[in-house]
Chains A and B, each alone.
Chain A
Amino acid sequence: MKGISSAPGDYVHFKSQVPLHKISIGSKQWRYYDFGPKSVLPLICIPGIAGTADVYYKQIMSLSLKGYRVISIDIPQVWNHHEWIHAFEKFLDTINVHHVHLYGTSLGGFLAQIFAQHRPRRVKSLVLSNTFLETHKFAAAMPWSPIVSWTPSFLLKRHILTGIHDGPHEPFIADSVDFVVGQVEKLSREDISSRLTLNVNVTSVGPLLLPDSFITIMDTNDYCAVPQELKDQVSERYPGARRAVLKTGGDFPFLSRPDEVNLYLQLHLRRVGVEAKPALLQGVSGDGSSGSSSDEKKGGGHLDKPPEDHGSLGGGDGGDHQPQASGSEVHGLDEQFLSNREITSITLGTSFFLMQAPYIPSLLQFYMGALYVTWKRRSEFV
């Protein structure tokens, strides 16, 4: 896969801005990004089987600019859910984070729920995307799971990639698939086999203490590798959760529909009372008005009540620039700055896709080859 060498421009930018952290805690290796103001409760992004911390780079870039702290992780090499809970808890202790908001996609969403179930005091809210409550179905669809740990790396990778919808894609979704394929190439055999094992260990999410109102379910409505009935179970389990449906986006909406996903994440964080601290932005937007002094609110204890209307909404009717509204001014500028940037990157992405056109048949061939390896397609995979 040569795709990695011609990474999208905004990813190159991301890599130049955001340091990758690698630490060992006990026997576990953690690979993660942590960006944005440290005084804000973080949103931690947990990927699915085919993902790495990098797949959320568009969220990290956008939300950190808006004053949120975003952490994204690779799922470490853990082999069952108890190990996951302990490892993740130690990770949080090590990076000195106590309370978290979790955003998990597919397997990551499942792990987020498991953690919320067993460590209810630490998890303040959940964003669950294209995910599930139980793994029975995956276990049944993968009868060779006992030999996962002996299976050669290339077979495991092919297995993972066959889960990705391989129909004709619109360019943004095609780019998102390319990106994830590139990431899968970087995973070690142990990484993949541990995730596959997690995915087929028969477990289900028990009742959460977290009220539904602190949960947002962000599913894509077109298609994804997680079967619809499993996604429906999640909605049924949390009837009071907010349903942030994306019309389209495929398996990796955080890559293919970043602006929508970022907007939903922002709305979620606002709803659960996370105060962004966009003070750092001042330099970026060139807005000289004082904003840093408005950060008086401390992070703690604000979850009990929904955020108050600051009353500055009406700021538009006079066009007056009161100091109180300066935060939103900065934000507005930033938003435009960002959307411009996103448009640029989107254009880049498209041309990238077109340039890659001759390379598509080989990718298809790759998928076809993978078909031989796995008997049950779809539904088996995340």
Chain B
Amino acid sequence: MASRRRTLLKVIILGDSGYVNKKFSNQYKATIGADFLTKEVQFEDRLFTLQIWDTAGQERFQSLGVAFYRGADCCVLVYDVNVMKSFDNLNNWREEFLIQASPSDPENFPFVVLGNKIDIDGGNSRVVSEKKARAWCASKGNIPYFETSAKEGFNVEAAFQCMAKNALKNEPEEEM
């Protein structure tokens, strides 16, 4: 068992503003427009490696090409609760993803939605209500929804757990 391969789950983050990019310490540059980090997540006694790809809010992320999307297990759509346009764009991002990644079963492909930056200005600058966001998620086939603050790490762990769980549902038992 010791040498058993870890399950690798590939998670793609899309949205108007990069989500984890703060953790990437400004390493983005215009030339590639994406970066990734890996994170170990324990879920139901199994250890997973989440490989999380972030697009840094690139609108022209299509240019990243097939390598970026290949084998995605979960897509995380992020918006900024303080910016209405970022919420309105969720639908575009979702459709863009389905076109680019063309998963075999688009109806059941696991998405997760994150309402981010809830900490800003003590929540006073918020323009998208949780209710509104949840309603949209429900209309798209009950996408799990989390409110997070990447800066303070609030709820981030729960979101990662959910990504692992959802991605896993679609993961076939891989055999050699």
Contacts and interface: CB of A to CB of B under 8 A. Distances in A.
A358 interface: no
Given A248-B71, A307-B27, A335-B64, A266 B32 contact: yes
Given A248-B71, A339-B65, A339-B66, A327 B49 contact: no
Given A247-B8, A267-B36, A309 B67 contact: no
Contacts of B66: 259, 339, 342-343
B174 A222 contact: yes
A260 B66 CA distance: 8
A186 B77 CA distance: 50
A177 to B, nearest CB: 15
Contact of B59 (A257, A270, A306, A317): A317
10 contacts: A167-B176, A227-B3, A228-B3, A229-B2, A229-B3, A242-B38, A266-B32, A270-B31, A313-B58, A316-B58
A266 B34 CA distance: 11
A243 B57 CA distance: 23
A316 to B, nearest CB: 4
Given A243-B49, A267-B35, A306 B71 contact: no
A83 interface: no
Interface in B1-28: 2-6, 8, 10, 25-28
Interface residues of B, number: 37
A269 B31 CA distance: 12
A316 B27 contact: no
Contacts of B64: 263, 335
A336 B63 contact: yes
Given A222-B176, A271-B27, A315-B30, A263 B71 contact: no
B67 A306 contact: no
B33 interface: yes
Given A228-B3, A232-B3, A221 B65 contact: no
Nearest to A330: B31
B68 A223 contact: no
Interface in A227-265: 227-229, 232, 242-245, 247-248, 257, 259-260, 262-263
Contacts of A257: 67
Interface residues of A, number: 47
B54 to A, nearest CB: 12
Interface string A305-343: 011111011011100000001011001100110110011
Given A167-B176, A232-B3, A243-B38, A276 B31 contact: yes
A322 B60 CA distance: 15
Contacts of A332: 60, 63
Interface in B27-83: 27-36, 38, 49, 51, 56-60, 63-68, 70-71
Contacts of B67: 257, 259-260, 262-263
Contacts of A242: 38
A335 B26 contact: no
Contact of A228 (B5, B29, B56, B71): B5
A325 B29 CA distance: 10
B29 A245 contact: no
Given A260-B67, A317-B59, A335-B63, A310 B36 contact: no
Most buried by A among B31, B59, B174: B31
A374 B170 CA distance: 40
Nearest to A311: B30
Given A243-B38, A336-B63, A221 B6 contact: yes
A358 B105 CA distance: 34
Contacts of B34: 267
Nearest to B10: A247
A327 B32 CA distance: 11
A336 B66 CA distance: 10
Contacts of A266: 31-32
B63 A309 contact: no
Given A221-B8, A247-B10, A339-B65, 20 more contacts: A229-B2, A242-B38, A243-B38, A245-B38, A260-B70, A263-B32, A263-B68, A266-B32, A267-B35, A270-B27, A308-B26, A309-B26, A309-B27, A309-B29, A315-B30, A316-B58, A328-B33, A331-B31, A338-B65, A342-B66
Contacts of B36: 244, 267
Contacts of A328: 30-31, 33
Given A222-B174, A245-B8, A245-B49, A310 B29 contact: yes
Nearest to B73: A247
A33 to B, nearest CB: 23
A331 B31 CA distance: 6
